[in-house]
Amino acid sequence: MIEQRPDAAELKEELVAKYPAKVAKKRAFQMAINHVEKDGSVPQVLANSRTAPGIITQRGCTYAGCKGVVLGPTRDIVNITHGPIGCGFYSWLTRRNQTDPGPDGENFMMYCFSTDLHEDNIVFGGEKKLEAAIQEVYDLMHPKAISIFSTCPVGLIGDDVHAVGRRMSEKLGINVFGFSCEGYKGVSQSAGHHIANNQLFRHIVGRDNEVRGQKNFRVNILGEYNIGGDAFVIEDLLKRCGFELVASFSGNSTYDAFANSPTADLNVVMCHRSINYVAEMMEKKYGIPWFKGNFIGAKATGKTLIKMARYFEDEELIARTEAVVAEEMAKVEVEQAKHEARCKGKTAMLFVGGSRAHHYQELFAELGMTTIAAGYEFAHRDDYEGRRVIPTIKVDADSRNIEEITVEKDDALFRADLAERKDRLEKDGEVFNDYAGMMPEMRSGMLVIDDISSYETEKLIERWKPDVFCAGVKEKFVIQKMGVPCKQLHNYDVGGPYAGFEGAINFYKDIDMRVNSPVWKLVKAPWQTSAA
Q: Does 354 bind ligand CFM (CB under 6 A)?
A: yes
User: CB atoms < 10 A from the CB of 4, how many?
Assistant: 8
Note if the bond before 250 is cis, omega within 30 degrees.
yes
Q: Does 367 bind ligand CFM (CB under 6 A)?
A: no
Interacting residues with ligand CFM between 273 and 312 (CB under 6 A): 273-274
What is the separation of C-alpha 174 from the centre of its chain, rounded to a whole number of angstroms?
A: 29
Helix then strand then coil, % of the chain, to nearest 5: 50, 15, 40
Site track for ligand CFM across 394-433, x = CB under 6 A: ----------------------------------------
d(Cα 76, Cα 55) in Å, to the nearest integer? Answer: 38
193 is catalytic: yes
Contacts 24+ apart (CB under 8 A), 338-341: 338/508, 339/367, 339/508, 339/509, 339/511, 339/512, 340/366, 340/367, 340/368, 340/508
Question: Per CB under 6 A, which region of 220-228, 277-285, 302-310, 458-466 contacts ligand CFM?
Answer: 220-228
Q: Is 40 exposed, middle or buried (0-12, 13-18, 19+ CB in 10 A)?
A: middle
Q: Does 69 bind ligand CFM (CB under 6 A)?
A: yes
Question: Rounded to the nearest whole angstrom, what is the least distance from the CB of residue 271 to ligand CFM in the complex?
Answer: 3
486 is catalytic: no
Bridge-based pairing state of the strands 347-351 and 447-449? unpaired
Q: Which of 26, 59, 95, 481 binds ligand CFM (CB under 6 A)?
A: 95
Question: Per CB under 6 A, which region of 147-155, 170-178, 269-277, 331-339 contacts ligand CFM?
Answer: 269-277
d(Cα 189, Cα 185) in Å, to the nearest integer? Answer: 9
Q: Please identify, using beta-carbon distances, which residue of 153 and 354 lies nearer to ligand CFM.
A: 354
Closest CA to 318 of 389, 243, 429: 243
4: Cβ contacts below 8 Å, ≥ 6 apart: none
Binding-site residue total for ligand CFM (CB under 6 A)? 16
d(Cα 241, Cα 366) in Å, to the nearest integer? Answer: 24
Q: Please identify, using beta-carbon distances, which residue of 55 and 413 lies nearer to ligand CFM.
A: 55
Question: Rounded to the nearest whole angstrom, what is the least distance from the CB of residue 326 to ligand CFM in the complex?
Answer: 28
Q: Does 358 bind ligand CFM (CB under 6 A)?
A: no
Note if the bond before 143 is cis, omega within 30 degrees.
no
Residue type for position 134: I
Q: Which of 490, 505, 506, 511 binds ligand CFM (CB under 6 A)?
A: 490
203 is catalytic: no
Catalytic residue among 32, 47, 64, 343: 64
Site track for ligand CFM across 25-64, x = CB under 6 A: ----------------------------------------
Q: Which of 225, 249, 291, 498 binds ligand CFM (CB under 6 A)?
A: 225
Q: Which of 32, 63, 65, 381 binds ligand CFM (CB under 6 A)?
A: 65
Q: Please identify, using beta-carbon distances, which residue of 69 and 374 lies nearer to ligand CFM.
A: 69
Alpha carbon separation from 367 to 123, 364, 483, 486, 510 (Å, rounded): 58, 5, 21, 17, 11
Q: Where does this chain bind ligand CFM (CB under 6 A)?
A: 65, 69, 95, 189, 223, 225, 227, 271, 273-274, 352-356, 490
Residues designated as active site: 61, 64, 95, 193
